[in-house]
Structure 1
Amino acid sequence: MYHQHFNLDEHPFSLTPDTQFFLNQQSHREALNTMLVALQHCEGFIKIVGEVGTGKTLLCRILLSRLRTHFVTAYIPNPYLSPEELKAFIAQEIGADYNPQMQAHILLSSIYRKLMQLAHHGKQVVLVVDEAQAMPRETIESLRLLTNLETEKRKLLQVVMLGQPELDTLLSRPDLRQLKQRIIFSEYLRPFSREGVADYIRHRLDSAGGDKHLFSPWALWLLGIGSGGIPRLINILAHKALISAYGKGLTRVGVTQVAAAIADTSETRITGKFVAWHCRWSKLAGGV
C-alpha cells in the first residue's frame, strides 16, 4: 500500500505494540527506570498507571526484554482470572509441579518450593500484569498472599502491575489497603508534549526506513493537538493522514491530510468546527 509510495520498509504506525518503535520519552523512561531499579532491589509491588493508549503494553514488552540473566518472568496480558487460575498460571510459568487435580494447599506448596529453588540458584521471579484494573478483587488478594512467600532477606515473587486509572480506584478499596501499602514504587504515564509528538512521528518514520521529515511542521503541530499526545491516537491519525496523502499522489503529508484524519476520528481532542476551519485555512495556505 502506501509504504511503497513513501519508500517505507514497513508500516510505521501499526497499532500492534512493537519494541522496534519504542521511543524513550521522559514519562516512559522514568517508568521503565523505576521498574528496573525496583526489581534489581527486590522490592515487592510496582504500579504503573496510564490512560488508554499511552503505551503500557509496549512498556511491558520493553521491560520483559530487559529482564534477562538472573530473572524468571511471567506475563499476564489478560488478568481476568480466578484465584485458582492465577496460581495455576504462575506454577506453569515458573516450572513448578502442577496438575489440574491438585488441591489448593498442595499447589501453593509446589509454587513455594519452586520459588525457593529458583532463589537458591540466584533467580528472581517477576510477574508482570497488564490491564491490572480488570483483575477481580479476590484474585488481587490471592496475588497479595502469594507475595508473602519470602526468605529472611527478600521476596520470592515480585509483581509489576500496569493498568488504567481505574486501577487506582480499585486499590483504594478499604479491603485492599494491605496490598496498597505494599506498593513501593508507582509511576504515571503522561501523554507526549507537542515536541514529543513530533519526535515520536519522526522516530517511527526513521525506524520504518522512511524520511523522518515526511510530515510538514504544520502537520506535526496539528497532530499534536488532535491526538492530545496519546501514542495510540497519534498512530491512528498519522496512518489515516498517510492514506490520504497517498490517495492524492502527494509525496509529503500536509496539514490538510491531518485535518481530514482528525475529522474522521471520533476520539480526537479537536471539535469538528475547528477542523473545518483548519481545512479552509490550509487550502489558502497551500496545504503546508
Structure 2
Amino acid sequence: MYLYHFGFSELPFTLTPNTGFYCELQGHEEALQVLSTALKTGEGFIKVTGEVGTGKTILCRKLLNEISNHFVTAYVPNPYLNPNELRHAIAAELGVEYDDEADPHQLTRLIEQKLLEINNSGHSVVLIIDEAQALPTDSLEALRLFSNLETETRKLVQLVMFGQPELDERLATRELRQLRQRIGFSYRLSTLREEELKRYIRHRAKRAGYKGPELFPDEVVSWLHQGSRGVPRLVNLLTHKSLLLAYGNGRHTVTVADIKAAIADTEDATMPKKQDWLWFTIGFAAVCAGMLGLAVSLGWINL
C-alpha cells in the first residue's frame, strides 16, 4: 500500500465518514450553524438534505460528537423500519425499560414518560435520523405524532432528519403535507467548488501526516473536479485510486494520466465530453504553433 511511500501516518481518502478528517467546508459549516440555531430555538423538525456522497453522515456524526450536554440524543442510523420497529429503536436509544409484550400504545406511553422525565431534569431530547428518505410513509407519520408531545412551553422532542433529495420529493406530496408544515429549519448541501476541492484534499493529506511537495498539481485538481463533479465521496475514491497508480509507478506526485485512469475505472465518475477533448486538442495545437512561430522569428529554427 502507498501509506509509507507518501509518508502518511494513516490513509487520507477512505470512504468511512471519519470526523477526525472533517474539513470546514462552507456548506457543512452553514448546515451546522442552521442545526445549532434550530436546536437552540427548540424547533420541532429540522431537515438536512444532499445528494449521495455530499457528506451528510459525517455531518450527522459531527453533530452527535459536538452537541451540547444539555441535549440527550437518540440516533437511528438505519430508518428502514415500520412504526413499531421505530418505536423500539427510539426506546432503546433513550434507555426505556419495557416488557417485550408491550403493545405499540403502551410503548408510546413509556417513551412519552421518559421524555417528560428527561425534560423535567432540565435537558432536551433530540432524535437524529440518518438516511431519512428510507423511512416508510407510516413511520414518517409516527414521527409527526411524536412531535406532538410537548409541555406548555416547549416540545418534548426535537427531530433532525438527514436524507437524500428523495426525502424532499416525498415531503412535497399531499399525503405528507402535515409533516412538511412542521419543518422549521432546512438546509440543502451542495457539491464542492474547485477551490474548495483543492482545500479539501490538502486538508485530508495534511491530517494524515503528509509533509512533502504538492501531491495534486492544479491541472490534476481540475480533472479531479470534473471527474467527481465535486462530490466528496467520489473525490475520496478518485484520489485513492490515483495515489495507488502514482505509487505503482514509483512517483510522489499524481499526474493527469493517473486521474484520467482513475476516472475511467470508476462507474459514477464523469469523463469530460468529447468536445472538451476536441477543444483541448485545438488549444494544444495552437500553443504548439505559436511556440514554433516564436522559435522561427528568434532564429532558433530555420524552416
TM-score between both structures, scaled by the size of structure 1: 0.93
Q: Which residue of 2 aligns with 1:6?
A: 6
Structure 1 gap segments, 5+ residues each: none
Q: Which residue of 1 aligns with 2:268?
A: 267
Shift of 1:277: 7.6
Secondary structure of the equivalent of 1:191? coil
The residue correspondences of 1:232-247 to structure 2 (distance < 5 A) are 232-247=233-248
Secondary structure of the equivalent of 2:113? helix
Aligned length: 284
Q: Who wins on radius of gyration, i.e. which is larger?
A: 2
- Alignment check: 8 A CA contact 1:263 1:272 kept: no
- Pick closer, same or farther for the CA change 1:66–1:278 going to 2, 3 Å: farther
Q: Which residue of 2 aligns with 1:228?
A: 229
CA distance in 1: counterparts of 2:200 and 2:140, whole angstroms: 35
- Alignment check: 8 A CA contact 1:92 1:98 kept: no
Q: Which moved more, 1:254-263 or 1:124-133?
A: 254-263
Matched, 1:34 2:1: no
Shift of 1:77: 1.2
- Pick closer, same or farther for the CA change 1:145–1:129 going to 2, 3 Å: same
The residue correspondences of 1:1-288 to structure 2 (distance < 5 A) are 1-211=1-211, 213-271=214-272, 273=274
Shift of 1:241: 0.4
CA distance in 2: counterparts of 1:111 and 1:247, whole angstroms: 56
Q: Which moved more, 1:89-98 or 1:145-154?
A: 89-98
Shift of 1:93: 1.0
**Matched AA of 1:112:** E
Secondary structure of the equivalent of 1:54? coil
The C-alpha deviation readout for 1:224-263, integer Å capped at 9, x for no partner, is: 1111110000001000100000000001112221111112
- Pick closer, same or farther for the CA change 1:134–1:107 going to 2, 3 Å: same
**Matched AA of 2:192:** F
- Alignment check: 8 A CA contact 2:227 2:272 kept: no
Shift of 1:269: 2.3
- Alignment check: 8 A CA contact 1:263 1:275 kept: no
The C-alpha deviation readout for 1:114-146, integer Å capped at 9, x for no partner, is: 101100111111111111111000000001101
CA distance in 1: counterparts of 2:164 and 2:137, whole angstroms: 16
CA distance in 1: counterparts of 2:263 and 2:277, whole angstroms: 10
Q: Which moved more, 1:229-238 or 1:211-220?
A: 211-220
| RMSD after superposition | 2.2
**Matched AA of 1:51:** E
CA distance in 1: counterparts of 2:123 and 2:279, whole angstroms: 57
**Matched AA of 2:74:** A
CA distance in 2: counterparts of 1:102 and 1:160, whole angstroms: 27
CA distance in 1: counterparts of 2:104 and 2:190, whole angstroms: 41
- Alignment check: 8 A CA contact 1:78 1:131 kept: yes
